[in-house]
Amino acid sequence: MPEDHANSWEARAAAHSFYGFTDLPSVRERGTVVVTHGEGAYVVDTHGRRYLDANSGLWNMVAGFDHPGLAAAAKAQYDRFPGYHAFFGRMSDQTVMLSERLAALAPFNDAKVFYTNSGSEANDTLVKMLWFLARAEGQPARRKILTRKNAYHGVTAVSASMTGKPYNEVFGLPLDGFIHLTCPHYWREGRPGESEAQFTRRLAEELDEVITREGPETIAAFVAEPVMGAGGVIPPSEGYFQAIQPILKRHGIPLVSDEVICGFGRTGEVWGADALGFTPDAIIASKALTAGYFPMGAVILGPELADRLQVAVDAIEEFPHGFTASGHPVGCAVALKAIEVILDGADGAAPLIDNVRRMTPVFEAGMARLAQHPHIGEWRGRGLMGALEAVADKDSGTPFAGHLSVSERIANTCTDLGLICRPLGQAVVLCPPFILDDGQMDEMFGKLETALERVF
Ligand code: PLP
């Protein structure tokens, strides 16, 4: 419970901070958890309470909250050269090196990278690149963007329009020309009697129909998360990307993989696209790119889009776009270190992706055990990200009704127990840091089990 003391951290937080993405009745009742520092996978609040953060911050703090190598990489670069842009014919050496590293990691040859401060801005940048390209290539009508219902691509006007969540209606979004297809969630969206293969086929047919209806020449791209994250951790139905990619290819529409959550190891592979078995035409990256130690996003263009964009830009001699901190040298130095920590192993430690692979079966077993609960309708996930969907009736999958969702109550109870997890719709989402060990995995599932017992 919050202290009503006017000088409490809770009261001070509420007095002068505007809350985003927060269930306000819940915060009014419970107060704000004001965090002062982190220890590995744990965060500590102003009362000294420790919480195992099974959210990795916001899917991003994959190396935990006190990684010495990442802090040291940032400090060393702050000491050497604290900030710069990547424009007007200048660029930091760190930016050059990071682009080389990302190009080598990308699932296609000859990639080119453009830097932003966030995943939202990376999606905006991608769309502006495609709009620029369309006009330069004499196809100014090619502006529509296809995404899916329940997709999350960010909060700027364009990336929020790409996002397939109804809450954006309060902003009068989406903008015209952003089209949301059926969410590839077989358990929720499959029709009675429809097999998973039939469901996948139906979604592929829907895509073909929408492209034909809208006119392929009006569509700039199809953008998809390999595993949907903020929609409630939704892996696509079996064969989904294999079914849709040929249709996109036939119509000349690029497939862009929004890897803001999946990229850099979350699924056990470098890219979510690798895990799902498809090769995209471009990638959107952020979050684990810097292990959350610096705000940064990137658009990584595959060779065809990169070449065409280069030709278009060469024709007018400048691409008029970028952010003050695009290619920030501290961000780039941190990203280089984060990639080393996750994929190569740094300072004598094993690569974190090895731990993701080792812990994935343990995670899956824990999720499967909790999914036996009479009010858990489904567990789903990939690698170290998963969701438990709470239902009023397990057989029919009927969701609970009401404003304060059951998942919110489960998550609040977990907070009381010293575990941070995220309510998303009626699901409770877990995406722990890549450093989680067996004991912490037990702690996470043990606390979640206790929370389920208390709520139901
Ligand atoms: N794309 C995906 C898949 C995301 O999950 C997110 C954020 O969670 C974004 C884009 C937006 O990134 P940001 O919050 O850094 O703007």
Sorted by sequence, the CB contacts under 8 Å of residue 28 that are 6+ apart come out as none
Q: Which residues of the chain have pLDDT under 50?
A: 1-3
Q: What's the start-to-end Cα distance of the chain, in Å?
A: 21
Determine the pLDDT at residue 102.
98
Q: What atom of ligand 1 comes closest to residue 229's alpha carbon? A: 5
For the Cβ of 241 lying below 6 angstroms from any atom of ligand 1, the answer is no
pLDDT tens digits for range 152-211: 999 999 999 999 999 999 999 999 999 999 999 999 999 999 999 999 999 999 999 999
Tokens linked to 114: 């453009």
Which is the closest atom of ligand 1 to the Cα of 225? 3
Bond into 216 cis (ω within 30) = no
Q: Whose CA is nearest to atom 12 of ligand 1?
A: 119
CA-nearest residue for atom 7, ligand 1, is 154
Positive or negative, the CA dihedral 429, 433, 434, 435 is negative
Cα of 197 from ligand 1 centre, angstroms: 30
Quick check: ipTM above 0.95?
yes
- The C-alpha angle with vertex 155 and arms to 272 and 259, in degrees rounded to 5, equals 10
Pocket mutation for ligand 1, best pick of 21, 115, 284, 286 (most atoms within 8 Å of C-beta): 286
Tell me which residue has its CA closest to atom 1 in ligand 1.
153
Output the pLDDT for position 363: 98
CB atoms within 10 A of CB 183: 20
DSSP-derived secondary structure for 177-196: TEEEE----HHHHPPTT--H
Q: What is the pLDDT of residue 6?
A: 80
Residue 299 contacts residue 126 (beta carbons within 8 Å): yes
**Closest ligand 1 atom to 262 CA:** 3
Cα–Cα distance measured from residue 456 to residue 406, given in angstroms and rounded to the nearest whole number: 9
Which positions ≥6 away from 429 have C-beta within 8 Å? 55, 232, 233, 385, 386, 387, 421, 422, 423
Quote the ligand 1 centre to 230 CA distance (angstroms).
8
Give the distance (Å) from ligand 1 centre to CA of residue 284. Answer: 9
Q: Ligand 1 pocket, 286 CB below 6 A?
A: yes
261 Cβ inside 6 Å of ligand 1: yes
Q: Bridge partners of 422?
A: 429
Which DSSP letter does residue 234 get?
A: B
What's the number of CA atoms in the CB half-sphere (13 Å) around residue 190? 18
* Ligand 1 near 154 CB (within 6 A): yes
Establish whether residue 291 lines the binding site of ligand 1, counting it when its CB lies within 6 angstroms of any ligand atom. Answer: no
Pocket test for ligand 1, best of 147, 153, 228 (most atoms within 8 A of CB): 153
For ligand 1, say whether the CB of 294 is within 6 Å of any of its atoms.
Answer: no
**In 287-403, alpha helices (H):** 303-316, 329-339, 352-370
Check if the beta carbon of residue 263 is closer than 8 Å to that of residue 276: no
Mean pLDDT value across the chain: 96
pLDDT the model gives residue 400: 87
Residue 79 to residue 257: CA distance in whole angstroms: 35
Q: Which residue's CA is the closest to the ligand 1 atom numbered 10?
A: 153
Closest alpha carbon to 443 in 32, 37, 41, 30: 41
Burial of 374 (0-12, 13-18, 19+ CB in 10 A): exposed
Domains present along the chain, CATH in parentheses: 33-66+350-455 (3.90.1150.10), 71-344 (3.40.640.10)
Residue 230 CB less than 6 A away from ligand 1: yes
Burial pattern 325-335, b for ≥16 Cβ within 10 A else e, equals bbbbbbbbbbb
With the most atoms of ligand 1 within 8 angstroms of its CB, the residue from 60, 168, 261, 276 to mutate is 261
CA distance 417 to 1: 13
User: What confidence score (pLDDT) does residue 1 get?
Assistant: 47
